Chains A and B, each alone.
Chain A
Amino acid sequence: MSELQIGLLVLVVTLFVLFSGLPIAWGLMLVSVGFLTVFAGPASLANVPLVLIDELASFALLTIPLFILLGAAVGTSAAGRDLYESLHRLLDRVPGGLVISNILACGVFAAISGSSPATAAAIGKAGMPEMMRRGVPQGLAAGSICAGGTLGILIPPSITMILYGLSTETSIGRLFLAGVVPGIMLVVFFALYAWFQTMRHRRLIKEEAPVFYTFAQKMEGLGRVSPFIAIIIAIGFAMYGGLATPSEVAAISAILAMALVIIIYRAWRVRDQWEIFRATVRESTMILMIIAAAAVFSYMMSLLYVTQTAAQALVDLNLNRWVLLAAINVFLLVAGMFLPPVAIILMIMPILTPVLEAAQFDLIWFAVILTINLEIGLITPPVGLNLYVLRGVAPQIPLPVVLKGSMPFVIIMLFAIVLISVFPDIALWLPNRMMGFG
């Protein structure tokens, strides 16, 4: 069998195994072990434990459980609700202020959490009941939480950017900076869309007497946001100001967040701590097992020379740069429908990196394009983690309504991809300015 035929077989078998409902980690292991045994001989299995543990025993990977811990500390305690409430108080007179404050809260929470489902869960838990109570159309409410939540992986810190950095050997600090402006841009676009929709549905929403807050109440709200701002500043200072590497910043900010919820929200009881930690180890283990399995999977693909042959074939097509980019985007959107972001990066980047380098695309810029594609994947069926998070928070909203409400946000994100492709500086200006050209 030729490499490409083996590759095709891997693709078919992997899709079949994953769609059967086998957990992704075990499914990838099963496929890898099967193909290694058949095409490289049982002796090649001797490296499976080696590849597995070598992938996991990495200081850079430690950032993943630590940023999840940070998100869980804030999301599981009352801190997430407070953040949302205080932003709402500031925006009480803006049309669509309720929806906009949800989106802003997602943006702020994204700046301290590295995970999109964590962002959607934390803000959704507080925001959805409020929006439902005040008559915001279900689709708009659900869409804003689903889409706002996806910002967790674009606005730094970001678990997927870390993995991208490890996989492509690009600077994680640079990647983080590249996500800032596009992240803010998306927040603004989302907010504009919410404002526009609220103006259209004005009559529905203003049924209930609007609540206005006094200046003192607003200031109190601001006071409650300040610890979050402090954490964000601490992260920025530690990472870009010369105190610690990204891995170390993850630990420091997790400890800060723990201190915050223990001191301000008094979550010091064993029960409170267990809620935070059980969520953390559960999500981290899930992700790290997939990472380990994906490493074994890539080893299998590489050993059988499938990855290299496929990449070469794509290069040999000699596509025009922009046609190639469009093809990659379509490919990512399809992959994003079925696979979570982490798995996509680990499986796709080893193939794409040489192609991108051959076509002379900037790897930092591409990280932003990729991340927005992955964000879309989080709200597209059948596998969209944020959709399932929202179903958990607001089970009364039917899935079709959620999907329809999310669709305009998907279109906004596609528009952002086009915009950043045409104006790469949207992504590259900040990292180049802060870290020099490179």
Chain B
Amino acid sequence: MKHYVWLMDRLSIACAVVASVLLAASAVLITWMVLYRAMGYSTYWEIELSVYMMVASMFLASPYTLMTKGHVSVDLLEHYLPFSARRALLVILALLSLAVCGWLAWATFEFALHAYTSGERSESAWSPLKWPLFMTMPIGFGLTALQYIAELARPETPEAA
């Protein structure tokens, strides 16, 4: 299990790095688009591509956000519980979150698969395929679910500030 936690942490960090690159790329792309348009040229695919990259970026960063306790919650109950009960609560919450993310991964995968087989495209002038956009969802939720398993397996939970 130690190896699994180690591996998941590395994977989550790697995904966050990719997410960072994608976000930076979309900022650069939009800035370039504004300049290019100001020079009088026609632009049509840039907005959609930057949106695709942002969505991918956000889903890829989700496991890292979890690892660094970034998915905010109302952590009031936790503070009022005795230490022993606190640990049990955290385990229950992690299991629930795992179930939610797992279900979302499955549901969004079916959805993305349908778009893949039907070859659905966007209705814009550029009309890119839709499935690469949709596929970011199961990847993001799936990795988050896997990271929850790592959080459950992690030897001790450091105290939240």
Contact = CB atoms under 8 A, between A and B. Distances in A.
Identify which of B38, B58, B93, B110 gathers the most chain A CB atoms within 10 Å of its CB: B58
B14 to A, nearest CB: 12
Interface string B109-137: 01110000000000000000000011001
B86 to A, nearest CB: 10
Contacts of B62: 285, 289
Contacts of B47: 59
Contacts of A66: 23, 27
Nearest to A385: B72
A7 B110 CA distance: 30
Contact of A248 (B33, B51, B96): B33
A65 B55 contact: no
A273 to B, nearest CB: 8
Secondary structure at the A interface, as helix, strand, loop or mixed, is: helix
A129 interface: no
A30 B95 CA distance: 13
A24 B73 contact: yes
Contacts of A61: 54
A140 interface: no
A3 B71 CA distance: 31
B96 A53 contact: no
Given A278-B64, A286-B72, A21 B137 contact: no
A21 B133 contact: no
B26 A57 contact: no
A27 B75 CA distance: 13
B103 A33 contact: yes
A255 B98 CA distance: 36
Contacts of B90: 21
Contact of B64 (A45, A50, A258, A281): A281
Given A391-B161, A395-B161, A285 B61 contact: yes
A69 B73 contact: no
B82 to A, nearest CB: 15
A133 to B, nearest CB: 23
Given A59-B47, A382-B74, A22 B68 contact: no
A288 interface: yes
A51 to B, nearest CB: 11
Residues of B in contact with A, size category: 35 or more
A351 to B, nearest CB: 21
B8 interface: no
Interface string B49-70: 0111011011101101100101
A49 B104 CA distance: 8
Nearest to B18: A281
Contacts of A258: 27
A264 B18 CA distance: 26
B7 interface: no
Contacts of B5: none
A203 B70 CA distance: 42
A283 interface: yes
Contacts of A255: 27-28, 31
B54 A49 contact: no
Contact of A26 (B50, B59, B61, B100): B100
B150 interface: no
A377 B107 CA distance: 35
B85 interface: no
B73 A22 contact: yes
A22 B34 contact: no
A251 B58 contact: no
Contacts of B76: 19, 21, 382-383
Interface in B74-91: 74-78, 89-90
A26 B23 CA distance: 24
Given A24-B72, A274-B20, A53 B57 contact: no
A148 to B, nearest CB: 21
Contact of B107 (A23, A45, A274, A282): A45
Identify which of A27, A252, A288, A289 gathers the most chain B CB atoms within 10 Å of its CB: A289
B93 A65 contact: no
B108 interface: yes
Contact of B74 (A26, A252, A383, A395): A383
Contacts of B17: 274
A389 to B, nearest CB: 10
Contacts of A278: 16, 20, 64, 68
Identify which of A49, A258, A385, A395 gathers the most chain B CB atoms within 10 Å of its CB: A49
Contacts of A189: none
A105 interface: no
Given A21-B75, A23-B73, A238-B34, 6 more contacts: A19-B74, A33-B100, A50-B111, A252-B31, A277-B20, A392-B161
16 contacts: A18-B74, A19-B77, A21-B89, A22-B93, A24-B74, A48-B104, A53-B133, A57-B51, A62-B51, A65-B23, A65-B54, A248-B31, A281-B61, A282-B70, A289-B58, A289-B71
Q: Which 8 A-B pairs have the closest CB atoms?
A: A277-B20, A251-B30, A49-B111, A281-B61, A23-B71, A285-B61, A26-B100, A282-B70
